Amino acid sequence: LAGSPELVAELAEGLRGQLVIICGDNDRAGNGFSARFAEGLTAHGVTAYALDIPHQGDDLTDWRARDPSGFPAELHRAV
């Protein structure tokens, strides 16, 4: 996805005017994906940020599972 300039351009067209929060896995591959995708969208005028997941190796589902009741507030602060 992030490595396809054509797909990033197509997605950017539909996301123009929106704030985009990208949340890949918190590992080397996921962090690279999030950074490349955010940079790609930003190059097309879309405001995009990569969300930092606090625990190494986790994805969004793992983060939520660690503390289901506290997760909504933690996510809100992170965003």
pLDDT per position as a tens digit, 48-79: 999 999 999 999 999 999 999 999 999 999 99
Residue 28's domain comprises 5-78
pLDDT band at 1 (very low <50, low <70, confident <90, very high): confident
Q: Would the pLDDT of 2 be above 90?
A: no
Question: How does the average pLDDT of the chain come out, rounded?
Answer: 94
**7-31 pLDDT, tens per residue?**
999 999 999 999 999 999 999 999 9
Q: Does this model's pTM top 0.75?
A: yes
For residue 75, what are its two tokens?
């996510």
Q: Write out the two tokens for 40.
A: 């790609």
Contacts of residues 9-17 at CB distance under 8 Å and 24 or more positions apart, as own/partner, are 9/44, 11/41, 12/40, 12/41, 12/44, 12/45, 12/46, 13/44, 15/41, 15/46, 15/48, 16/44, 16/45, 16/46
Structural domains counted in the chain: 1
CB 9 within 8 A of CB 39: no
